[in-house]
Amino acid sequence: MLLDTIKKYHIILASRSPRRRELLSGMGIDFEVRQQDIEEIYPSHLSPEEIPTFLAEQKLSGFNWNELPDNALLIGCDTLVFLDKTAFEKARNETEAAQMLKQLSGKTHAVISGLCVQTKQHKITETVISKVRFKTFSEAEIDYYIQQYQPFDKAGAYGIQEWLGYIGVESIEGSFYNIMGLPTATLWKILEKIATS
């Protein structure tokens, strides 16, 4: 089984996201967290599908392989929300969060993750897209959510696993865990590829 095979790797998650840590732990994988501070900026010509993968690769580019164990396996992931090709990154304050949620209200948006897994021998990247349809939110609902949950560390200013997701998600197409921030089934397939190659 994969969980036995990947014990030969020293797995490093390059992310400060508590959701990614929770999901990777839930997969039964032992890992440590080491993140590089990178500016989350990207070339303007990239498509919505390319941006998260570019950022995931950037998160791994700062590691010096000479300073890592020979059996190191790095996992980088970046997740963004898109509405009609406009990227919704992390809101910096309550006003930005409210503006984002008002724009997403009553519409279907895409949640796109870029996943990059790298060892000294291999580098595999994948892009995973999920779609979420929200009900139309009242201003009171948006205000309550922002005040109670302070969703400033989340793309699109919401967490699907929180109150707003409970009351507002009408439909989902694709991976739920991708929307949380880590496409776990895709990651499992990548790890299987690496472990058996």
Active site residues: 78
- CA gap 46, 4 in Å, rounded: 38
At residue 78, the 3 state secondary structure works out as strand
Given a contact cutoff of 8 angstroms between Cβ atoms, the answer to whether 86 and 51 are in contact is no
Given a contact cutoff of 8 angstroms between Cβ atoms, the answer to whether 74 and 121 are in contact is no
